Amino acid sequence: MTPGEVVITRNLRESLNTYFDGKNYSYVGVLVDENTRAHCYDLVKDALPPHIILEIESGEDKKTLDTCASIWHQLTEARFDRKSLLINLGGGVIGDMGGFCAATYKRGIEFINLPTTLLAQVDASIGGKLGIDFQGFKNHIGLFQSPQKVIIHDHFLNTLPYKELRSGFAEVIKHNLIRDKAGWINLIKTPLKEQPWYDIIAHSTRVKQEIVAEDPLEKGLRKILNFGHTIGHAVESFYLNKPGKHLLHGEAIAVGMIAEAQLSTWKNGMPENECSQITNYLVDLYEPAPIDTNDIQEISRLALQDKKNQGLNIKCSLLEEIGKANYDIPLEQKEIHDALEQYNQLLPKHHQ
Ligand SMILES: NC(=O)c1ccc[n+]([C@@H]2O[C@H](COP(=O)([O-])OP(=O)(O)OC[C@H]3O[C@@H](n4cnc5c(N)ncnc54)[C@H](O)[C@@H]3O)[C@@H](O)[C@H]2O)c1
Ligand SMILES: [Zn+2]
């Protein structure tokens, strides 16, 4: 995996022109969903060489093998050969799935990412993880491969619904919690809607890139990026097919970070006042719902199946203090269970 270059640009057209200068692709495709076609495509279309549009339906529930088949079909119909380029214009679903399709079509064609959600900008499009969901398991099928380039433009965020912005912000919060205490203190001073996005994205992508560069294949340090995700992913999977209760990725990760902050204090020496600070901030911002006591057992069982675990042992990343994380901390299912029960207790009474 050769890491592609990440550019955070104030001039999207210029960055695209620079990228295409001297390149000679035989075919270019732009992968969009109905939202990024409506809101994002106009910002880039004039700066692109002749291309076709490949459109899929938006949504995590479309991140499937069936949708891949439709993408491969469209590429085949348009006679894309190995010297073609796929441009992923969208959020994490488009980035993960479009990258997966490109990396496997005819054993791999080049692709670039133009991430249009905050989550994709600060997280999903960095670090080379590609894939799709399978039989209810998140990102169950996939591979590591980096795009040729990632071009990030914060103007895309102007049309993003608030809930989506807040979902992506969970990863920004995580990056500060695991790596930058001063950043965290600064972050929580400013309301979400007033955050200076260009700077926030530059900081967050830098944190992720530094960690990935040290450990691209997640053998060690990269695991700290999973803070909030052992429990968060289980929560996300559990509610994936529950109508009306479905959570966005970052909303589930916010729940996971609250539960794992608790575990950080119980098991990893994080001061209690820091745990409360994290919990209060996340509860205020995400207003998460309590988890039905009957569901806690199933969610803690799901956490055990997380693909990052080896065997029956859950290995988790926890905070030692704000700004410093450790990885490979063994956890028992019971401890996850207890942390989720404690999570319910920590919610304000009117949420419970
Ligand atoms: N590869 C990784 O390392 C990694 C890391 C984190 C998350 N992910 C994956 O990312 C996915 C979530 O990504 P996401 O939160 O971006 O979701 P998403 O791709 O589903 O996008 C969210 C919604 O916003 C719409 N949208 C996108 N850009 C828009 C814009 N500028 N204006 C208006 N609407 C817009 C989309 O159509 C969609 O409805 C998950 O599948 C998750 O597994 C991957
Ligand atoms: Zn995440």
Residue closest by Cα to atom 13 of ligand 1: 92
pLDDT tens digits for 81-126? 999 999 999 999 999 999 999 999 999 999 999 999 999 999 999 9
Average pLDDT over residues 136-162: 94
User: Do the Cβ atoms of 318 and 260 come closer than 8 Å?
Assistant: yes
Q: Is the pLDDT of residue 352 over 60?
A: no
119, 138, 201, best to mutate for ligand 1 pocket (most atoms within 8 Å of CB): 119
DSSP secondary structure letter of residue 241: T
Q: Ligand nearest 166 Cα, by number?
A: 1
Residue 336's pLDDT band (cuts 50, 70, 90):
very high
- With 0-12 / 13-18 / 19 or more C-beta atoms within 10 angstroms meaning exposed / middle / buried, residue 94 is buried
Tell me the two tokens of residue 284.
């205020």
DSSP secondary structure letter of residue 120: I
Instruction: Determine the Cα–Cα distance for residues 275 and 194; give it in Å rounded to an integer.
Output: 25
The ligand 1 site (C-beta within 6 Å) comprises 33, 35-36, 39-40, 58, 60, 63, 90-94, 96, 116-117, 119-120, 123-124, 127, 129, 138-139, 156, 159-160, 164, 167-168, 249
Fold annotation for 5-159: Rossmann fold (3.40.50)
Strands annotated E in the chain:
5-8, 28-33, 52-56, 85-90, 110-115, 129-134, 137-144, 149-152, 314-321, 324-331
Cα of first residue to Cα of last residue in the chain, in angstroms, is 46
Kind and range of the H or E element at 214? helix 197-214
93, 129, 138, 205, best to mutate for ligand 1 pocket (most atoms within 8 Å of CB): 93
DSSP secondary structure letter of residue 322: T
Q: How many CB atoms lie within 10 A of CB 218?
A: 17
CA of 227 to the centre of ligand 1 (A): 19
- For the chain, domain boundaries: 5-159, 162-351
User: Do the Cβ atoms of 58 and 29 come closer than 8 Å?
Assistant: no
Residue closest by Cα to atom 18 of ligand 1: 91
Q: How far is CA 225 from the centre of its chain?
A: 10
Residues with catalytic roles: 107, 129, 171, 208, 218, 222, 226, 229, 233, 249
Ligand 1 atom nearest 63 alpha carbon = 41
Share of the chain above pLDDT 70, in %: 96
Please state the CATH superfamily assignment of the domain spanning residues 162-351 in this structure: Dehydroquinate synthase-like - alpha domain (1.20.1090.10)
pLDDT tens digits for 177-213? 999 999 999 999 999 999 999 999 999 999 999 999 9
Residue closest by Cα to atom 8 of ligand 1: 124
Instruction: Determine the Cα–Cα distance for residues 222 and 218; give it in Å rounded to an integer.
Output: 5
User: Do the Cβ atoms of 200 and 175 come closer than 8 Å?
Assistant: no
CA of 324 to the centre of ligand 1 (A): 27
Mean residue pLDDT of the chain comes to: 94
DSSP secondary structure letter of residue 246: -
CA of 211 to the centre of ligand 2 (A): 15
Residue the block writes with tokens 């905050």: 118
Residue-level pLDDT at 35? 98
Strands annotated E in 92-225:
110-115, 129-134, 137-144, 149-152
Half-sphere exposure of 304 (CA within 13 A, CB side): 15
Look at residue 141 and give its three-state secondary structure.
strand
Tell me the two tokens of residue 106.
């005819």
